Structure 1
Amino acid sequence: MSHIGRYFNTLELLLSHPGGLALSEISEQTQVAMATAHRILSALRERGYVYQDEQDHYRLTLKIPSMGVSYIAETGFAKIMQPLLNDLASETGEHVRLAEVAEDHLTWVLQATKNTKGLQYRRALDEKIIPHTTAAGKVWLSTMRDERAMRILAAWDIENTRDYAGPNARVSIRDIFDDIALIRKEGYAVVREEGEVGVCVVAAAVFDSSRPDSSLPVGTLSIAGPIARMREDTLGAHIESLKRAAIKVGEHWALWTSVSGKDSLPTR
């Protein structure tokens, strides 16, 4: 592995352990010698990327998240998109998230939540998007050829999905592709307790018509809430709101692309 690759591995490891890790744990999990791990961490600490807490555990500072937020703010993406997400959250009373397609995975980039008196549902933007248990992931899979979808799914332990997802998660490729076929027909995805217990999510793909291949999505838009509120009598209205919002987001995404001259967000 290259020298710089070890630095990135260390940063990514600490990103997945917000509580911090001891030097020995970092050395073991990045598969480098203790001396090498210490040298990498010392360099990262000097540049302000990591710090040591009272237990001598190494943790990330807020430098990397702040860099990402600053970049999006400077490009104007958040300024353009956030009002659309806020409107959808206000209209539905639920949690709304926007994800970007980043080659072979999805990345959350923005979110909005409408305050209600009932149970609140909210998730972190750094949460990994599992393609076959999330509405965002499934609607994204539905936009690609089966061969590519199969390659993406091959990276996951499908048979044991319920060990790391919800009780209704699909545990066979056939069931997943049955869902994908239905999503292609209806134009949106609905998952009930597949990603986690007690949660229902609906999602639609977002397309940028200004791109050469406008049939490929640039992102996904989703609405999530407690399954007790996301009932059949309210879900239909949410889906119609979602479809309209996804079109608006796609139009604004095209505007951002033309103004900024950028094809993707720095969130990968």
Structure 2
Amino acid sequence: MSSVLEKSLAIVELLVDHPMGLPVTAIAAATEQPASGVHRTLQELARLGYVRQVQAQGDYALTIKLPAMGLGFMGRAGITDVAQPVMDQLAADSGELIRLSVIDGDRLIWVAVAQGATRGLRYDPGQEQGVVVHLASSAGGKAWLASMTDDEALNRVGAQGLLRQAEGQGPSAPTSITLLLQQLAEARARGYATAVDSYIAGMAAMAVPVRYHGSGPVLGCLSIAGPAVRMTDGRMAELAPRLQAAADELGGAAAGTKYFRANVRALDDDPQGRRSA
């Protein structure tokens, strides 16, 4: 890491995954920074109100300031107002976990969730909002990739990496470009992408792109996820029309959000024409 800003953001991103806090030595090791430098950065972040020391001489944790800023942005951008009611209804209809990811530049990021499972076995990661989606191993990522040409999809995967090394992945995640392209072709033919024992072992998901006004550029992806024993091929086929209808509803309502309108303008102004097919 070269810049002070990059080092600071690395610390913040690490603490997002550890809400109970971490000691300076653990933060230094995880971010590959000297402990003395990490301590100075934490002191400055604390002065600005972004982190706090859990107790005297204790661990450092994020304050609520950064999450509150994120929620404020989501609300003012109109994303939650438009998306949450649609996602809540789909969660109730499917009885599974619903996730919305949105395109932010060259990345796909999970931004909203609704849980439909109220009892028994369920998939509920709880910490994926704000996480960059790994494209090759997730249903949402493959739904986005399937909306592109194979060359465009391979460029995205090449930039991010075929394998999800840092966090690990499920045993059925694609380990070759040939297999990934086959899965993308199947997603196009089927009308939705799937990931079974791929992103996480024991979990299955299906996803479709969310298109502006239903047929415009891709704004993000909507997915249904749950335990693989329940999310069978037959069950996914049953849920597919409801998932697509919800995605169409979100795409139709996207014109009412500042964030999505700005994304569409950015695609229209892109000289390289990164608009998904």
TM range (shorter): 0.7 to 0.9
Cα pair 2:82 2:250 within 8 Å, conserved: no
Mapped to 2, the partners of 1:151 and 1:247 lie a distance apart of 27
Other-structure match for 1:26: 27
In 2 relative to 1, CA 181–162 (structure 1 residues): closer, same or farther, beyond 3 Å? farther
Mapped to 1, the partners of 2:160 and 2:49 lie a distance apart of 35
SS at match of 1:132: coil
CA shift digits 1:38-83 (9 cap, x unpaired): 2221111012111122462222122111111122223332122111
Amino acid in structure 2 at the alignment position of 1:101: I
Deviation for aligned residue 1:7: 2.3
Structure 2, unmatched stretches of 5+, are 265-277
In 2 relative to 1, CA 261–136 (structure 1 residues): closer, same or farther, beyond 3 Å? closer
Amino acid in structure 2 at the alignment position of 1:172: S
Amino acid in structure 2 at the alignment position of 1:199: M
Q: Which 10-residue stretch deviates more, 153-162 or 179-188?
A: 153-162
TM-score by length of 2: 0.83
| Match of residue 206, structure 1, among 210, 213, 216 | 210
Mapped to 1, the partners of 2:169 and 2:107 lie a distance apart of 17
1:164-203 matched pairs, under 5 angstroms: 164-203=168-207
In 2 relative to 1, CA 261–198 (structure 1 residues): closer, same or farther, beyond 3 Å? closer
Higher RCO (CA < 8 A, seq sep 6+): 1
| Match of residue 75, structure 1, among 77, 90, 106 | 77
In 2 relative to 1, CA 17–242 (structure 1 residues): closer, same or farther, beyond 3 Å? same
TM-score by length of 1: 0.85
Cα pair 2:97 2:117 within 8 Å, conserved: no
SS at match of 1:51: strand
Question: Is 2:267 aligned against 1:263?
Answer: no
In 2 relative to 1, CA 221–42 (structure 1 residues): closer, same or farther, beyond 3 Å? same
Cα pair 2:78 2:256 within 8 Å, conserved: no
Deviation for aligned residue 1:33: 4.1
In 2 relative to 1, CA 200–4 (structure 1 residues): closer, same or farther, beyond 3 Å? closer
Mapped to 2, the partners of 1:168 and 1:138 lie a distance apart of 14
Amino acid in structure 2 at the alignment position of 1:192: V
Cα pair 2:99 2:222 within 8 Å, conserved: yes
Mapped to 2, the partners of 1:235 and 1:179 lie a distance apart of 16
Deviation for aligned residue 1:120: 2.1
Cα pair 2:137 2:164 within 8 Å, conserved: no
Mapped to 2, the partners of 1:29 and 1:192 lie a distance apart of 30
Other-structure match for 1:237: 238
Q: CA RMSD in A?
A: 2.7
Other-structure match for 1:37: 38
Deviation for aligned residue 1:15: 2.2
Deviation for aligned residue 1:237: 1.8
Deviation for aligned residue 1:146: 2.5
SS at match of 2:225: strand
Mapped to 1, the partners of 2:23 and 2:229 lie a distance apart of 42
| Match of residue 86, structure 2, among 80, 84, 87 | 84
Q: Which 10-residue stretch deviates more, 36-45 or 8-17?
A: 8-17
| Match of residue 118, structure 1, among 104, 117, 120 | 120
Question: Is 2:252 aligned against 1:248?
Answer: no
Deviation for aligned residue 1:155: 4.5
SS at match of 2:218: coil
In 2 relative to 1, CA 22–162 (structure 1 residues): closer, same or farther, beyond 3 Å? closer
Paired residues, what number? 260
CA shift digits 1:196-242 (9 cap, x unpaired): 222221100001139xxx65311000011122222344322201111
Deviation for aligned residue 1:159: 6.4
Cα pair 2:97 2:115 within 8 Å, conserved: yes
